Amino acid sequence: MGSASSNDAIRSISNWAIAPAQPRPAGQRKATEEFGSLTFSEEVQRARLPKDVYRALRRAVAQGEPIEANVADIIASALKDWAVEHGATHYTHWFQPLTGITAEKHDSFLSPSADGRAVAEFSGKELVRGEPDASSFPSGGMRSTFEARGYTAWDPTSPPWLLVTGNGVTLVIPTAFVSWTGEALDKKTPLLRSMESLSKQAVRILRLFGSKAQRVTATCGPEQEYFLVDRQFYFARPDLINSGRTLFGARPPKGQEMEDHYFGSIPDRVLAFMMEVERELYKVGVPLKTRHNEVAPGQYEVAPIFENANVATDHQMMTMEMLRRIAPKYGLACLMHEKPFAGVNGSGKHLNWSMADELGNNLLNPGDTPHENIQFLVFCAAVIRAVNKFQGLLRFSIASAGNDHRLGANEAPPAIISIFLGDQLTDIFQQVEKAGSAKTTKSGGILDIGVGVLPKLPRDAGDRNRTSPFAFTGNKFEFRAVSSNQSIALPNVALNLAVTESLDYCATELEKGLKEGKKLQAAVKQLLVKLLKDNKRIIFNGNGYSEEWQKEAAKRGLLNHRTSVDAYGEAMKPDVVKAFETYGVLTEREWHARYEIAVEQYNKTINVEAQLMVLMANRYMLPAGYRYQGELAASVNAVKAAGATSKESRRALDQICRATDECKVRVDQLQALLEHEMNGDAEKHSRYFRDKVVPAMNALRDAGDSLECIVPHDVWPFPTYREMLFIK
Ligand code: ADP
Ligand code: MG
């Protein structure tokens, strides 16, 4: 790079201009008209499908009833007509293989007709089932590559939408992906299965409280954090291009210490980008709600309104894709990595999670007087039990090489899974545990700001705690340890499954109590007391970053897996495997495949990063160091020849020689470690990466960053942190 290309980047950034401010640009429709305009929404379905077909489809969506072949035919034909009217020429079964990103294979609607022309056709069979070659997707040992057959199966609960790109329109059909033998090869299938099983157990409890509800869905609202950097800087960084994060980079003089970015006014170019992303996502039915600056310079967040967890997961994938796709139009690159820049905050994805019945009642809504709402207390205590019992599974569900830079490092949240309940609920549960029931609810009261003209605000009953990995936030739980780059499918599955098992336990206990002639109140009391006694160690309202918590958690016997490698083993613990099997979410084989892929992905990630570091050091950084060494040496000689003396330039020469030498030694050490044989047991290799390779990478980074600090700017090959984070 050097200053020449750096100057190019800066010039084009400062020349970047947006259209003059106007309320609504010409040709743009109102947001309310635009929302869902590219989805085969309920409204479109009602308008275009015969009444009985429409009803059958809605029943399938609401109650999970299967759709008959002849009904599917009619839906397919209406779907095709709608898509073709909107300009679609192709359709795709869109699925979420175990790579963690989405996959699509496009097929044309056209089929040749006898008279040498073509007609657009789409049958129920094509809607319901696709057959992409499955051999090149990871299967975690479930299949060998010659067993290539895979099927995609239409998910009628997630609405199809239109992908509009430069040269045409494609109908996108959300699908599940399974092998010829029926094994789940994707992330959606277990999610759907876990939602079914959660519903079954939750309904059992609701029945006991006299509810007529038939179905419960997991609800989910994921908040996405991301970074934006100028694209020219991005292309000048091999590490950003190939690993999504900076593997080198000296700390800039100014980072996030001034706290002047969070919720600050959004720069014009970034705001223009956000608005286009939102508009495009509105069209395909993603209900985005909030946008703001995040803590680190260059970091932002977007969050939707919550939906059922399956649709929310699809929409989350679409949101990530849209962020990546639109950024280049604004000369930006969107970084979703958990830690693109050392020394400033990383990115997470807060997963807000709850359960609701089909009438929309939120089962984790405590109401104004939670102590009277014993149904709420049961559901809430069931979640507490679930998180305590399945800490390991939850920790596994968020483990990755990228998330290691957040969890267990000096950053939010810690690697210990615990629950923040807040003062109000903690107080209630303490009363329950002591007396069997709670008599009072601490209220927040009114917050008087002390200025007559300002309104009096109702105060929440508890403050927030940003350090907790799993916090109750008023009427839902927020799983904050989820990482920015991952699909939310697995964390959702983990939560659904853990809570399913726990609700099953609660329902069984309550049913037993009732059978023995207890009144419901009494049975609930007994259950709650037991649940709290057994599981209260998971509740922690204090500072999750503190040293004391590490000690306290150890005393309580909570898991504390600081690295992913430590956490992977949790997947195959007997309780976890048993729960997957018992509730039909994944067979042991299917689940083992997920474990295997997670470990492999860790190994591959570290391997790629380490190779990249070697490449960057050998081909870019060391040559820059040698160049400057030569320059300085020539200067020292010239000074001497001219009869002058400069002790300090001589010292500078020594300093650069030492720094380049150090860098060379470190890169050779890392390279030697990478020559290690990599066949066989994946978990063994992951330990090798963790214990040998990662420390060598850190050492090389330190050496590289020291070198950066003394090499002149016009010789240094990469844009610096200062430039990437602050020039917008
Ligand atoms: P907070 O201020 O606690 O972050 P917000 O109201 O901003 O709360 O919500 C954050 C996210 O939580 C949003 O995506 C929101 O839609 C989601 N959310 C709210 N209620 C629920 C719920 N019942 N289930 C799942 N997600 C929810
Ligand atoms: Mg939040």
Check if the beta carbon of residue 583 is closer than 8 Å to that of residue 197: yes
220: Cβ below 6 Å to ligand 1? yes
557-577 pLDDT tens trace: 999 999 999 999 999 999 999
Determine how β-strand 349-357 pairs with β-strand 150-154: unpaired
Q: Please give the mean pLDDT across all residues of the chain.
A: 90
Check if the beta carbon of residue 393 is closer than 8 Å to that of residue 490: no
Q: Which residues contact 397 (CB under 8 A, 6 or more apart)?
A: 490, 491, 493, 494
Tokens at 296, concatenated: 């680190």
Give the distance (Å) from ligand 2 centre to CA of residue 295: 13
Question: Rounded CA gap, 60 and 159, in Å?
Answer: 12
366: Cβ below 6 Å to ligand 1? no
Tokens at 174, concatenated: 């959300």
Q: Which of 110-114, 518-522, 692-696 has the lowest mean pLDDT?
A: 110-114
Q: Pocket of ligand 1, candidates 310, 476, 482: which has the most ligand atoms within 8 Å of its Cβ, to mutate?
A: 476
352: Cβ below 6 Å to ligand 1? yes
Compute the average pLDDT of residues 6-18: 70
466: Cβ below 6 Å to ligand 1? no
**The pLDDT of residue 703:** 98
Whether 458 has a pLDDT exceeding 60, the answer reads no
353: Cβ below 6 Å to ligand 1? yes
Give the distance (Å) from ligand 2 centre to CA of residue 418: 17
Question: Rounded CA gap, 16 and 136, in Å?
Answer: 41
DSSP 81-112: HHHHHTTEEEEEEEE-BTTSS-EEEEEESEEE
Q: Which residues contact 527 (CB under 8 A, 6 or more apart)?
A: 378, 381, 506, 509, 510, 513
306: Cβ below 6 Å to ligand 1? yes
DSSP state of 362: B
Compute the average pLDDT of residues 368-386: 89
What are the Cα distances from residue 442, in Å, to 424, 461, 467?
5, 7, 23
629-642 pLDDT tens trace: 999 999 999 999 99
Give the distance (Å) from ligand 1 centre to CA of residue 290: 11
- For the beta carbon of residue 204, count every other beta carbon within 10 angstroms: 17
Give the distance (Å) from ligand 1 centre to CA of residue 332: 29
Compute the average pLDDT of residues 528-533: 93
- For the beta carbon of residue 367, count every other beta carbon within 10 angstroms: 12
Residue with tokens 């570091």: 613
Give the distance (Å) from ligand 2 centre to CA of residue 404: 21
Q: Which of 96-105, 262-271, 304-313, 502-511 has the lowest mean pLDDT?
A: 262-271
6: Cβ below 6 Å to ligand 1? no
Question: Rounded CA gap, 659 and 628, in Å?
Answer: 11
Q: Comparing C-alpha atoms, which of 79, 242, 261, 262 is closest to residue 172? A: 79
**The pLDDT of residue 448:** 57
What are the Cα distances from residue 336, in Å, to 346, 467, 725?
10, 21, 15
217: Cβ below 6 Å to ligand 1? no
Bridge partner residues of 335 (DSSP): 227
**φ/ψ bin of 361: left (φ > 0), alpha (ψ from -120 to 50), beta (otherwise):** beta
Whether 489 has a pLDDT exceeding 90, the answer reads yes
Give the distance (Å) from ligand 1 centre to CA of residue 221: 6
Tell me which residues have their CB within 5 A of the ion that is ligand 2: 350
- Helix segments in 22-146, DSSP class H: 31-34, 42-48, 51-63, 69-85, 124-128
414-450 in b/e burial notation, b at 16+ Cβ within 10 A?
bbbbbbbbbebbbbbbebbbeeebbeebbeeeeeeee
333: Cβ below 6 Å to ligand 1? no
Compute the average pLDDT of residues 251-277: 77
Whether 410 has a pLDDT exceeding 70, the answer reads no
Question: Rounded CA gap, 415 and 564, in Å?
Answer: 9
Q: Pocket of ligand 1, candidates 224, 294, 302, 306: which has the most ligand atoms within 8 Å of its Cβ, to mutate?
A: 306
**The pLDDT of residue 449:** 47
Whether 208 has a pLDDT exceeding 90, the answer reads yes
Ligand number nearest CA of 462 is: 1
Give the distance (Å) from ligand 2 centre to CA of residue 464: 10
CA contacts within 13 A on the Cβ side of 368: 3
**The pLDDT of residue 28:** 76
Question: Of all residues in the chain, what percent carry a pLDDT higher than 90?
Answer: 67
Whether 90 has a pLDDT exceeding 80, the answer reads yes
Which atom of ligand 1 has the smallest separation from the CA of 356?
A: 23
664-696 in b/e burial notation, b at 16+ Cβ within 10 A?
bebbeebbebbeeeeeeebbebbebbbeebbeb
327: Cβ below 6 Å to ligand 1? no
292-328 pLDDT tens trace: 887 788 999 999 999 999 999 999 999 999 999 999 9
Which residue's alpha carbon is at the smallest distance from atom 1 of ligand 1? 473
Give the distance (Å) from ligand 2 centre to CA of residue 275: 21
DSSP 559-597: ----SHHHHHGGGG-HHHHHHHHHTTS--HHHHHHHHHH
618: Cβ below 6 Å to ligand 1? no
Length in residues, the chain: 728
Whether 453 has a pLDDT exceeding 60, the answer reads no
Compute the average pLDDT of residues 713-720: 94
- For the beta carbon of residue 479, count every other beta carbon within 10 angstroms: 28
581-639 pLDDT tens trace: 999 999 999 999 999 999 999 999 999 999 999 999 999 999 999 999 999 999 999 99
466-476 pLDDT tens trace: 789 999 998 99
Which atom of ligand 1 has the smallest separation from the CA of 353?
A: 25
**φ/ψ bin of 64: left (φ > 0), alpha (ψ from -120 to 50), beta (otherwise):** left
**The pLDDT of residue 47:** 96
Q: What is the largest CA-CA distance in the chain?
A: 106
Which atom of ligand 1 has the smallest separation from the CA of 306?
A: 16
